[in-house]
Structure 1
Amino acid sequence: MMDLLAKLGTWNWLILGVALMAVETFAPGVFMLWLGLAALIVGLLSFGIIWSWQVQVIAFAALAIAMVPLWRHFARDHEKPTDTPFLNRRAEGLVGRVFTLEKPIIDGVGTVRVDDTIWRVAGPDAPSGSRVKVTQADGASLTVELVS
């Protein structure tokens, strides 16, 4: 087996690079893509440079270690701002807003109406009609405090 790998030489890296990129198509996450690119670079460099397999492995490791954080850095910088920042996190958009209790808070639990939705709230006991401010959102439950 080692003889076969030694005979393939440069082609090993090219095959590995293509295989890693193929894995990326089945399990997308833009991680294997960069490992595959590192393998392709080592394979292409191996056509022009005669180096031992140990140096090739070290070059692959160095490129892989450098490419993944580099990609994460550039991907984070290029996120576009959106006009709907709370689209999939609606409860977080309610933090800081003031509402009127629909049902009283009894034993720490009550409800408020937000537009056409009833939200469960947790906070200090208060009668129906009291004004409360949302201080925290946790899933479908809101934590509130009384507003004077």
Structure 2
Amino acid sequence: MITYLQHLSFWDWLALATLLLILEVFGAGGYLLWIGLVAVTVGALTYLFPDLPWAWQFLLFAVLAAVSALLWWRHQRRARRLRG
């Protein structure tokens, strides 16, 4: 397993992004959309910097996913407040 992780390519991130975006279609409330776009971003960075270590890839994904989920949550909360 560790060997697989050490050789992650941008295709792996794009596959994850595709899976997340497909799952979003089934009604995740927008969260998987943004996390899928984060996976695309990490895939693009992996394409531009192919020697980026897998630990940095996962750290970048985790931080960006948390930030995007927090921003989406704040947006949803603000929208609910304006409606109600």
TM-score range for the pair, normalised by the shorter chain length: 0.7 to 0.9
The residue aligned with 2:29 is 29
Runs of 4+ in 1 over 3 A off after TM superposition: 1-5, 78-82
Q: TM-score, normalised by structure 2?
A: 0.78
In structure 2, distance between residues paired with 1:4 and 1:64: 19
Give the AA of the match of 2:58.
V
Q: Describe the superposition over 1:30-54 as per-residue Cα deviations: whole angstroms up to 9, x where unpaired.
A: 1211221111110011111231111
Report if aligned partners of 1:5, 1:12 keep a CA contact under 8 Å in 2.
no
Q: Which runs of 5+ in 1 are unaligned?
A: 86-148
How many residues are paired up? Answer: 82
Residues of 2 paired with 1:75 and 1:44: CA distance? 28
The correspondence of residues 27-106 of structure 1 with structure 2, limited to 5 A, is 27-49=27-49, 50-79=51-80, 81=82
CA distance in 1: counterparts of 2:4 and 2:78, whole angstroms? 46
Higher helix proportion (structure 1 or 2): 2
Q: Unaligned regions of 5+ residues in structure 2, if any?
A: none
Distance 1:3 1:78 in 2: 42
Give TM-score, length-normalised by structure 1. Answer: 0.48
Tell me if the contact between 1:20 and 1:36 (Cα under 8 Å) persists in the aligned partners: yes
Q: Which structure has more RCO (C-alpha within 8 Å, separation ≥ 6)? A: 2
Q: How big is the shift at 1:15?
A: 0.8
| Secondary structure of 2:29's aligned partner | coil
Give the Cα–Cα distance (whole angstroms) in 2 for the partners of residues 73 and 27 of structure 1: 19
Residues 111-130 of structure 1 deviation map (CA, whole Å, 9 limit, x = unaligned): xxxxxxxxxxxxxxxxxxxx
Name the Cα RMSD after superposition: 2.5
C-alpha distance 5-28 of structure 1, shift in aligned 2 (>3 A): same
- C-alpha change, 1:52 and 1:81, in structure 2 (3 Å) is closer
Of all paired residues, the percent bearing the same amino acid is 34
The answer on whether the counterparts of 2:17 and 2:36 sit within 8 Å (CA) in structure 1 is yes
